[in-house]
Amino acid sequence: MSLAFAGVCSHAPGITGRSQRADPALRDGFYASLERMRAALEATRPDALVVIAAEHFANFFMNNMPSLCVGMADQYEGPIEDEQWLGIRHTRVPGNAALSQRLIVSMMNDVDLAYAQEWKFDHGIMVPLNFLTPRYDLPVIPVNINCQGPPLIPLKRCWAFGRALRRACEEAPERIAVVATGGISHWPATPDSGKINERWDREFLRRFLANNRGELLAYTDEETWIEAGQGGFEIRTFIALSGLIEGSRCELWFYAPIPIFAVGCTVAVAHLPGALTNPPGANDTARP
C-alpha cells in the first residue's frame, strides 16, 4: 500500500488574503489545525502530494472543459492571483511527471480523464500548499474536478475517480499523500460572499465522516445550489476523497464558519490502516 496520507482542507483565498480581518480565536484555531495537518503529513514521509482541487478558471475554460484533469509536469507555478491580494508569493512548485504518468495510465483503466503538462495554480491549490508544504519542497500532482462551469461530473463519478486513484496509488512504489480541497456551503465571489449554511455543512460532514457512500451520492446539484450555493458544488472534492479511502473514515480536526474567509473552514484527516496520520489528541479543535 502506498497511500500514506489522506485528508481534506479548505482553500478560500480569504484564508490568506484577509487573515487580519478574521476573528483571531477562530482564525488561530484553524491555522493551528492546518499546522497539525502539515506535521501529520510530513510524519508519513510522502514522496509526492496529490491535491484534488476545484480550480477557478486558471487553466480550464468552457472552450474545452475537462471534468477530471491530472497534471503531468515536473514543475508548476502559482499563484495566478496578485501576490498581495492573496497573501502568497509567486513561486515554482515541483512536480513529478513520471509518477503522474503512471497514475494517469492506471486510472485510465477505470475513469476517463484528461492530463495537462502545463498548469498554473490558483488559490485553490496555493492556499493549501502555503500551509501544508510551506517550503514547496514536496512534488505535487494537481488534480482538477470541474466544479465551476456546469454541466458538472456526477457525484458517483467523483467517487469512482477516488477509487481509481486509490488503486493507482497502491500500484506505485512511492508513498503518496492525497489532500482534497474544496468548500462545503459557500457563495464565493458574489455579493452573498460570507454566507455559510452551517446546518447544511454539519449534515454534509456527518455523511462525509461516516464515509457513507449512499448518503453522499444522494445530493443533487439543484438541492446543493439552493442550500449551499454554487460553491457547494465543490463537495465533489470531498466525495472523491471518500472514494479514495472507501472503508476508512476521516476524523474532523476543525470546522467553523469564518465569514470573512467566505467558507466554513474545515480540516479532516483519514484514519488509514498502517499509516502514521493520526497523532494523539485528534478532534480537540473541532467545535461541537
Partner 1 sequence: MSLYSVQKLLFGLNRDPAVRARYETDFEELEAVRKPDIGLLYVMGVNGQILMHYAALRGFEWDAYIAAMREGEQRYGPVRTGLYQRARTP
Instruction: Decide if 68 contacts 113 (C-beta within 8 A).
Output: yes
Q: Does 148 bind partner 1 (CB under 8 A)?
A: yes
Q: Does 10 bind partner 1 (CB under 8 A)?
A: no
Query: How many residues bind partner 1, per CB under 8 A?
Result: 28
Least distance from partner 1 to the Cβ atom of residue 86, Å: 8
Cell of 273: 490502516
Strand segments, DSSP code E, in the chain are 3-9, 48-53, 68-71, 75-78, 91-94, 114-116, 140-145, 176-181, 249-258, 263-271
Q: Does 58 bind partner 1 (CB under 8 A)?
A: yes
Contacts with partner 1, 207-246, as mask; x by CB under 8 A: ------------------x----x----------------
At residue 22, φ and ψ (nearest 5 deg) are -85, 155
Whose Cβ is closer to partner 1: residue 14's or residue 243's? 14
Q: Does 89 bind partner 1 (CB under 8 A)?
A: no
Intra-chain end-to-end CA distance of the chain, in Å: 34
Choice from 74, 170, 171, 192 touching partner 1 (CB under 8 A): 192
At residue 201, φ and ψ (nearest 5 deg) are -60, -45
Whose Cβ is closer to partner 1: residue 201's or residue 234's? 234
At residue 42, φ and ψ (nearest 5 deg) are -65, -35
Cell of 131: 500551509
Choice from 7, 14, 128, 183 touching partner 1 (CB under 8 A): 14
Whose Cβ is closer to partner 1: residue 195's or residue 249's? 195
Choice from 56, 163, 207, 236 touching partner 1 (CB under 8 A): 56
User: If we measure between CA atoms, which residue out of 153, 155, 180, 154 comes closest to residue 166?
Assistant: 180
Q: Does 136 bind partner 1 (CB under 8 A)?
A: no
Q: Which stretch binds partner 1 (CB under 8 A): 35-43, 142-150, 204-212, 278-286?
A: 142-150
**Gap between the Cα atoms of 90 and 94, Å rounded:** 13
Least distance from partner 1 to the Cβ atom of residue 187, Å: 8
**Gap between the Cα atoms of 97 and 264, Å rounded:** 34
Q: Does 120 bind partner 1 (CB under 8 A)?
A: yes
Least distance from partner 1 to the Cβ atom of residue 31, Å: 19
- The four Cα atoms 137, 170, 35, 190 give a dihedral, to 10 degrees, of 90
Whose Cβ is closer to partner 1: residue 64's or residue 109's? 64
Contact residues for 26 (Cβ-Cβ < 8 A; gap 6+): 256, 258, 265
Q: Does 67 bind partner 1 (CB under 8 A)?
A: no
CB atoms inside a 10 Å sphere around CB 189: 13
Whose Cβ is closer to partner 1: residue 147's or residue 256's? 147
- Residues forming contacts to partner 1 in the complex (CB under 8 A) are 13-14, 17-18, 56-59, 61-63, 80-82, 85, 120, 122, 148-150, 188-193, 225, 230
